[in-house]
């Protein structure tokens, strides 16, 4: 019985030491954002939507992914894009409905990327308005008869992620 209590004390002490060590080395709280540096120097932070969209057949669901990016050279330096599993039918531009923190919706023009599965918006102004936000809701039409898609993002940790992107990209945050 005494051995069990001694082992419990050792395990508790080890857990405390591990927790203290982890706290000492912890970086900024990025929430669910995943930051990555590509081979070309482009720095990205990606976040899955909290909701799911059904695929074309309706059998499976997926979460769209919002990615913020910074290129170390060239203009525009900053961009954001939405990655989808189902393609939109538009070929060059698409109207995206945007709501930040439950506010009024407004429309923006986004470019349609390769195979219609990536929607892109260039420039830092979109990222700048999100840095202090808590929630982003994007919606768009897949096609004339295909219905609408909607992606809901909880932005916890965004300011820290943008700061890390800017530091790795050697530029100022938007």
**Predicted local confidence at residue 27, as pLDDT:** 57
Q: Is 42 contained in some domain? A: yes
**Predicted local confidence at residue 42, as pLDDT:** 93
Q: Is 67 contained in some domain? A: yes
Q: Where in 7-77 does DSSP place strands (E)?
A: 34-37, 43-48, 53-54, 61-62, 65-70
Q: Is 16 contained in some domain? A: no
**Predicted local confidence at residue 73, as pLDDT:** 83
Q: Is 138 contained in some domain? A: yes
The residue assigned the tokens 């540096």 is 37
List average pLDDT for each run of 10 residues in the chain, which is 174 residues long.
Answer: 40 35 51 91 95 78 95 86 91 94 95 93 94 95 83 96 94 92
The sign of the torsion formed by the CA atoms of 25, 28, 31, 35 equals negative
Count how many domains the chain has.
1
Is the CB of residue 19 less than 8 Å from the CB of residue 153?
Answer: no
Whole-number Cα distances in Å, 86 to 121, 136, 173 = 18, 20, 32
Q: Is 119 contained in some domain? A: yes
Which residue range forms the structural domain that includes residue 59? 34-169
The CATH number assigned to the domain holding 158 equals 2.60.40
**Predicted local confidence at residue 58, as pLDDT:** 67
Q: Is 15 contained in some domain? A: no
Q: Is 110 contained in some domain? A: yes
Tell me 88's DSSP state.
P
Tell me 114's DSSP state.
G
Tokens of 67: 């990615």
């Amino acid at each position: 019985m005494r051995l069990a209590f001694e082992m419990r004390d050792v395990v508790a002490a080890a857990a405390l030491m591990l927790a203290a060590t982890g706290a000492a080395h912890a970086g900024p709280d990025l929430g669910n954002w995943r930051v990555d540096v590509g081979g070309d120097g482009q720095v990205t932070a990606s976040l899955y939507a909290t909701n799911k969209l059904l695929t074309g057949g309706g059998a499976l669901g997926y979460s769209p992914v919002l990615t913020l990016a910074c290129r170390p050279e060239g203009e525009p330096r900053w961009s954001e894009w939405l990655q989808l599993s189902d393609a939109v039918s538009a070929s060059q531009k698409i109207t995206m409905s945007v709501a930040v923190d439950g506010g009024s919706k407004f429309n923006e023009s986004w470019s349609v990327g390769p195979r219609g599965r990536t929607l892109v918006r260039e420039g830092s102004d979109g990222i700048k308005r999100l840095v202090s936000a808590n929630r982003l809701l994007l919606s768009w039409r897949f096609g004339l008869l295909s219905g609408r898609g909607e992606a809901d993002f909880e932005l916890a940790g965004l300011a820290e992620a943008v700061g890390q992107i800017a530091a790795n990209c050697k530029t100022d945050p938007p």
